[in-house]
Amino acid sequence: MKLAHLSDLHLGKVVCGYSMLEDQREILHQIEEKLIRKGVDTVVIAGDVYDRTVPPAEAVTLLNDFLSALKRENMNIFLIAGNHDSGERLSFAGDLLDEVNVHISGVWNGKLTCTDLMDRFGPYHVWSLPYLRPSAVNRFIEDESKKVSTYEEAVKYALSTADLNPEERNILVAHQFVAGASLEEDGSEEFAVGGLDCIDSSVFDGFDYVALGHIHTSQAAGSQTVRYCGTPLAYSFGEKNEKSITLVDLEEKGQMRISLIRLTPKRPFAVLEGMFADLLKPEMIEKHQQEYLSIILDDPQDVPDAITTLGAHYPYIMKLDYASRSVKGEEALQAAEEMEKKTPYDLFAEFYEQRNQQEMSEEQKEYVQKEINEIWKGEQA
């Protein structure tokens, strides 16, 4: 069985005022052609199908066209909701689509959804887990003492509802943030402050392959069989343009081959830095004219009407700034980035030390951590 792992399409996304729909239409057509050429049997889309909970009509049409093209090739299709999706909207007509092997899991309903399939190596099972918050799990737990307070506890509980047959192949499709996954600088992913939505990859023990969404870079997360495929397109200047589809050749139990199918964007993202006059040279224009650009001018003084002049030659400028301003703001930016990496507990501990000129006692530390957990639990209810 050949499985294609996709995620984070973010259909309908707008970046710096530019609609990405045409780029998305072209990349989906490219994906379709590559999947057909590779003889793919099953396609999973691991969440963030749309960029907004209420996607534009053009994005819905684009998804419809893509799924229809895959179904014409008799592929099995699995979609789950990500944190950007409305699970209820995504799973519209889900029961009807199940009958034609388009399986959509939009909302956690108290039990992990499973679809049983067969290939020449025997049965295999695809389990679907839409993006999960602790509050979604707690709705199904009556005993207050057993309610969960963290994302990891929520995912563990959800996976405990699966009756896995360890003798057969089990694939999980999920959309969560796994510890150890690397994030690209200035990437477009969204996460909870302090990593409170982070889970350990060991919770997925027992699954032969875990197809993850949420991180925009292709990578393994703790294990070579627990993987993010990344976005098919870059959506920020911090993301590399090296995008791909993850292809899994699933053979008998315990045997699989994982490879990447490279994708080529219609317009890559690029950062262009130099003097205003140099950027107007014909060879520079020819090289970068069709790229989405963040331009940084090295001129010591502002150039009058620079954006209009440059825009006449570079039609896809998304950002324009001056290097001198970037240098001035660098220290403030670094401080803000360091702040974002700290947990609520770390921030409170620093505040306490600054005010009292001493660390908290062990008893105080335990109390503060308990209160933070209770606040987080309440926000997720």
Q: Return the minimum-mean-pLDDT range out of 11-20, 90-99, 152-161, 369-378.
A: 369-378
Average of per-residue pLDDT across 132-148: 93
Average of per-residue pLDDT across 114-129: 96
Q: For residue 25, which of 224, 240, 265 has the smallest C-alpha distance?
A: 265
Domains and CATH numbers, the chain: 2-262 (3.60.21.10), 269-325 (no CATH)
Residue 197: pLDDT band (50, 70, 90) is confident
Question: Measuring CA to CA, how many Å separate 45 from each of 48, 54, 141, 195, 358?
Answer: 8, 18, 29, 24, 50
Residue 202: pLDDT band (50, 70, 90) is very high
pLDDT confidence of residue 252:
94
- pLDDT of 73 higher than 70: yes
pLDDT confidence of residue 196:
67
Beta strands across the sheet bearing 102-105: 102-105, 76-80, 42-46, 2-6, 243-250, 256-263
- pLDDT of 379 higher than 70: no
Question: Measuring CA to CA, how many Å separate 315 from each of 268, 291, 311, 341?
Answer: 13, 9, 5, 36
Query: 251 and 240 in contact (C-beta within 8 Å)?
Result: no
pLDDT confidence of residue 185:
57
What confidence tens digit (pLDDT) does each residue in 243-286 have? 999 999 999 999 999 999 999 999 999 999 999 999 999 999 99
Half-sphere exposure of 260 (CA within 13 A, CB side): 17
Residue 153 has phi, psi (to 5 degrees) of -65, -40
Q: Return the minimum-mean-pLDDT range out of 166-175, 314-323, 329-338, 348-357.
A: 329-338
- pLDDT of 189 higher than 80: no
pLDDT confidence of residue 190:
58
pLDDT confidence of residue 194:
45
Report the distance separating Cα 293 and Cα 271, nearest Å.
Answer: 6
pLDDT confidence of residue 180:
76
Report the distance separating Cα 115 and Cα 101, nearest Å.
Answer: 9
- pLDDT of 60 higher than 90: yes
Q: Return the minimum-mean-pLDDT range out of 9-23, 73-87, 91-105, 193-207.
A: 193-207
Instruction: Please tell me which residue, 356 or 275, carries the higher pLDDT value.
Output: 275
To the question of pTM greater than 0.75 for the whole model, the response is yes
